[in-house]
A and B are shown apart, each in its own frame.
Chain A
Amino acid sequence: MLNWIWGIMVLMGILYGLICGNAGVLSAGMMDSAGDAVTLIIKMAGGFMLWNGLFEILEQSGAAKAIAGAMKPILGKLFRGVKTEESMTAMTMNLTMNMLGLGNAATPMGLRAMESLQRESDYGDSTSPAMCMFLVINASSIQLLPTTVLTLRRAAGSFMPEAVIWPTLCATAVSTLAGIFFCKLFEKGDKRLWKS
């Protein structure tokens, strides 16, 4: 899937750039962005280390078990077929941190959840229903307070920076609910393929 999306993105970009005579910018852009990825991962690696280290303590102390048990009645309905407390706890932490807008902690826990969900998945090299749902909810944003946008608005001299909080919350609720709805819908359609 990403195979085609990525391939087409690259080809279209190069083709359009060549037609418009932007070939020089293209080479610089490719090298710079590849380098940016390395810089970004170095910046993020600290958070990965910190939160995965803390997560291990949660597991060994039995706190993960308690969190998973408490969240199962709520999240179990949304994420079907989640088996381990590791998945449940990592998903809970990811969703909570995302709501609070703590992206630096949310991402490592989200990836941890994906690794764990894959270990218990029966779907081979395809995403399980729980993974699809988790991916889409993460992609649709569930942040309660758009802190970065508010900071930018204040800096730009807005007279009512907070006026956008309610509309943003509504828009993100609509996007998340739409994501959940389409996940459930597509899962039903896709199920037939998996039974054979």
Chain B
Amino acid sequence: MEIVMPCVVFFIIGFGLLKRVNVYDAFIKGAKNGLNTAIAILPSMGAMMVAVALLKESGLMAALVNVLAPVFALVGIDENAAPLMLMRPFSGSASLAILNSIFLTHGADSRAGLTASALMGSTETIFYTLSIYLAAAKVKKGRYAVAAAMLAWLFGGIAAGLFYK
């Protein structure tokens, strides 16, 4: 996998030179756009990360896990893996921390560990992705995107749960 990136870059620059493109100037121009995008999405990213931090630090997330664990258990998600199911759409780094603690407490090869592994890969950090993608496009109304993404998350979670029922 590590050869993909260098090869892609080699191809892009090589093809550019072959086509008589001023690759240096083009790179600078594009890079400037990239930096603008980075700055454009920072406020939305900050807003989302503050909200997620409040949910975590207040203890609300942990309380929700306790309430929702039996519901998740209905679809076959191990109760010890339930915290990850809930955290996954909100925070990537917090999800990784939960995954690791499940591995260390229950074992990576336990039912909770296996379910959690599949859960981790079944979806991305939905709210973070949505907030920065919408910010980059400067779009205010996401219409049904959140609903569809949350349903995707739910179905992915159910699939992961069924595997280790």
List residues of chain A with CB under 8 Å of any chain B CB. 1-2, 5-6, 9-10, 12-14, 16-17, 20, 22, 25-26, 28-30, 32-34, 36-38, 40-41, 44-45, 48-63, 100-102, 105, 107-108, 110-112, 114-115, 117-118, 125-127, 131-132, 134-136, 138-141, 143, 145-149, 152-153, 156-161, 163-164, 167-172, 174-176, 178-179, 182-183, 186-187, 189-190
Contact = CB atoms under 8 A, between A and B. Distances in A.
Contact of B145 (A33, A37, A61, A127): A127
Q: For B1, B52, B137, B159, which residue has the most chain A Cβ atoms within 10 angstroms?
A: B137
Contacts of B39: 41
Given A135-B130, A141-B123, A156-B103, A30 B50 contact: yes
Interface string B59-83: 1100100000000000000000000
A175 to B, nearest CB: 3
A174 B59 contact: no
B13 A111 contact: no
8 contacts: A10-B54, A13-B57, A29-B54, A61-B18, A145-B1, A153-B117, A168-B118, A179-B152
Interface of B: 1, 4-5, 9, 12-13, 15-16, 18-19, 21-23, 26-31, 33-35, 37-39, 41-42, 45-60, 63, 96, 99-100, 103-104, 107-109, 113-114, 117-124, 126-127, 129-134, 136-149, 151-160, 163-164
B136 A111 contact: yes
Q: For B33, B117, B123, which residue has the most chain A Cβ atoms within 10 angstroms?
A: B117
Contacts of A190: 143-144
A6 B48 contact: yes
Given A33-B53, A63-B12, A168-B122, A56 B46 contact: no
A20 B120 CA distance: 30
Q: For A38, A131, A167, which residue has the most chain B Cβ atoms within 10 angstroms?
A: A167
Q: Is the interface of B mostly helix, strand, loop or mixed?
A: helix
A100 B4 contact: yes
Given A52-B34, A111-B37, A168-B121, A13 B60 contact: yes
Contact of B54 (A13, A62, A135, A156): A13
A147 B127 CA distance: 22
Contacts of B52: 9, 33
Q: Is the interface of A mostly helix, strand, loop or mixed?
A: helix
A161 B63 CA distance: 31
B143 A9 contact: no
Given A33-B53, A118-B137, A126 B143 contact: yes
B9 A13 contact: no
A32 B117 contact: no
Given A30-B54, A49-B34, A187-B144, A56 B96 contact: no
A182 B59 contact: no
Contacts of B146: 1-2, 5
Contact of B41 (A41, A156, A159): A41
Contacts of A60: 16, 19, 21-22, 26
B53 A111 contact: no
Given A38-B46, A156-B107, A167-B117, 6 more contacts: A1-B146, A17-B58, A33-B49, A111-B133, A115-B136, A134-B133
Contact of A179 (B49, B139, B149): B149
